[in-house]
Structure 1
């Protein structure tokens, strides 16, 4: 590692810096800088130089909104030329959403933005936060990564391919439809074929607007008419989590008139699968063909996190409906397999 590399640590909140409170763990800004200073590895001669920027207020990641995504993006854009990489400390619950969001917001990215956090706070015995932070710092300073990614418990994942799949294991994240970017043991083993090349041109930040977007998960016995009232022209985008390869229950075709009405009103319907691994293939089964016929977008193997944040991104660029549909079907940041 090049000790002259400069890394900015952005502390947004989350478990890694929390302390015990009367009603459970709570974010704490007063002691976090001191906690970092007490970690010997952060002051090792081989460690990159680093600075800390703490957000205010610090948030449990359940409270993260579009506003916080924009704030993270603005800080990175503001300091992009001053640092060689960025480490974003974030709560685990919505980390995959935030990593996906930043991957779309930051166009022409050629430096690493590494999200990480912890399942146990740094102030507690057996915290996983120390190793996550140290390895995220090493990755950010390596010069190998040129995109938004997520590091957790020995694996480096593409940010917009990651999803949280465990609430109580140290191995909290995976990317079921994409290879790891690196696996970390005694050595950091980068998978060169999986890494994205650095982009050309100046960094461009697209801040997200607060667009009305919904997620609808299909389940056995669902009463579609209950959702008709929310599928209005105000709802700009919907991610439909279907069974298997894009299948929906027929139930007398009760869902299709609702989707067709939403589509005519300008709502973009993107179909994703409830299966963690695999891809949507509209039309492969008779029960999925109607979705294709009414103009739904095939989300292929995108995660719900990626589909939601990609919709925010494309709507915030003020594209036409047809342009958004076309872009949703294209791979923009490595978020889907064509």
Structure 2
């Protein structure tokens, strides 16, 4: 029996058209595929059903509730298809891929998130290859996880991030190997793929409200007043982007006291490095140990996108504070290497 693929078109550059004000989204992506994918090529593709969301969205406008909508879309059709492709804008693609990985734990079918830097409507574009390859990956390969495909690279969704604004090789996975390299041949890295799950463990909350998770990058001279201002709002989680292996000023008692007070109020404070590669090791320097003493938790080598969506997910699941602290430091679906505190 010929395999069937489900394609969820959420919007993004891949379906945009030129306008006097720049690229804009228009309905009718199915017709665009028919016009732009050659009949010979489309005849070699698996059967697919395309669902175009009623209001395509520029990914800069994505909010956490949209992640849940896409996840529900997949779960509702999970038994009817052999694989899934999510077409998405590039700006927040890594956030959505990460969020889906936490809601769709225990997948035994591929979910491939992709898009493009140039719209399919243009003569010269990267959209056709990304779309066709994503469909092939979703159809012909046993990849039991949420992935991001772009320009010959198949990445674990919750390990990916956008690293270039204009290059076709816009995404990478600095702290984890690629799941596959796609050239003349598709070469899967079986060693790093998630294992086949004994059962699905989908975790779809009733709602995915915009819980207040705030990333804050440290900078020389950052004040305790800024920490207090942020954490005294409706903030439930603070992602502290620190220096190097997780360091922050240890000669500013007011700053450390502000973090300690926030921690005592139940705010989850997660330590992530500003560096592109490597992770947090809070005990390597006294400056990192000071954060640990204030109640700050190591985020290991998670990307900002993975940490941000993971906190949102744990909050949405209604877990208590102790359980969230335990799970945020646990590897749930490949987003995190072993933590060294």
Cα deviation 1:214-258 (Å, max 9, x = unaligned): 111111232341331221273111111111100112352332111
Partner residue in 1 for 2:96 = 98
Q: Secondary structure at the match of 1:228?
A: helix
Q: 1:8 to 1:128 in 2, by over 3 A?
A: same
* 8 A contact 1:111–1:198 mirrored in 2: no
Partner residue in 2 for 1:6 = 4
Unaligned runs of 5+ in 2: none
Partner residue in 2 for 1:274 = 274
Partner residue in 2 for 1:182 = 180
Q: Secondary structure at the match of 1:24?
A: coil
Q: Secondary structure at the match of 2:235?
A: coil
Q: Secondary structure at the match of 1:222?
A: coil
Matched length: 335
RMSD across aligned positions (CA): 1.5
Partner residue in 2 for 1:27 = 25
Partner residue in 1 for 2:294 = 294
Q: Shift in Å at residue 107 of structure 1?
A: 2.5
Partner residue in 2 for 1:121 = 119
Q: Secondary structure at the match of 1:98?
A: helix
Cα deviation 1:80-108 (Å, max 9, x = unaligned): 00111110000000000000000001122
Q: 1:251 to 1:41 in 2, by over 3 A?
A: farther
Partner residue in 2 for 1:331 = 331
Measure, in 2, the Cα distance between the counterparts of 1:304 and 1:163.
Answer: 9
Partner residue in 2 for 1:142 = 140
Moved over 6 A (4+): none
Q: Shift in Å at residue 164 of structure 1?
A: 0.3
More displaced 10-residue stretch of structure 1: 202-211 or 190-199 = 202-211
Measure, in 1, the Cα distance between the counterparts of 2:199 and 2:187.
Answer: 29
Cα deviation 1:36-57 (Å, max 9, x = unaligned): 1130278544321101001121
TM-score, normalized by length of structure 2?
A: 0.95
Identify the match of residue 110 of structure 2 among 100, 109, 112: 112
* 8 A contact 1:233–1:266 mirrored in 2: no
Measure, in 1, the Cα distance between the counterparts of 2:95 and 2:267.
Answer: 21
Superposition pairs of residues 45-194 of structure 1, within 5 angstroms:
45-194=43-192
Partner residue in 2 for 1:212 = 212
* 8 A contact 1:232–1:265 mirrored in 2: no
Measure, in 1, the Cα distance between the counterparts of 2:68 and 2:186.
Answer: 31
Partner residue in 2 for 1:249 = 249
Unaligned runs of 5+ in 1: none
Q: Secondary structure at the match of 1:183?
A: strand
Q: Shift in Å at residue 283 of structure 1?
A: 1.6
Q: 1:261 to 1:233 in 2, by over 3 A?
A: farther
Q: Secondary structure at the match of 1:225?
A: helix
More helix by share: 2
* 8 A contact 2:227–2:255 mirrored in 1: no
Q: 1:44 to 1:57 in 2, by over 3 A?
A: closer
Q: Shift in Å at residue 34 of structure 1?
A: 1.2
Measure, in 1, the Cα distance between the counterparts of 2:124 and 2:203.
Answer: 38
Q: 1:151 to 1:68 in 2, by over 3 A?
A: same
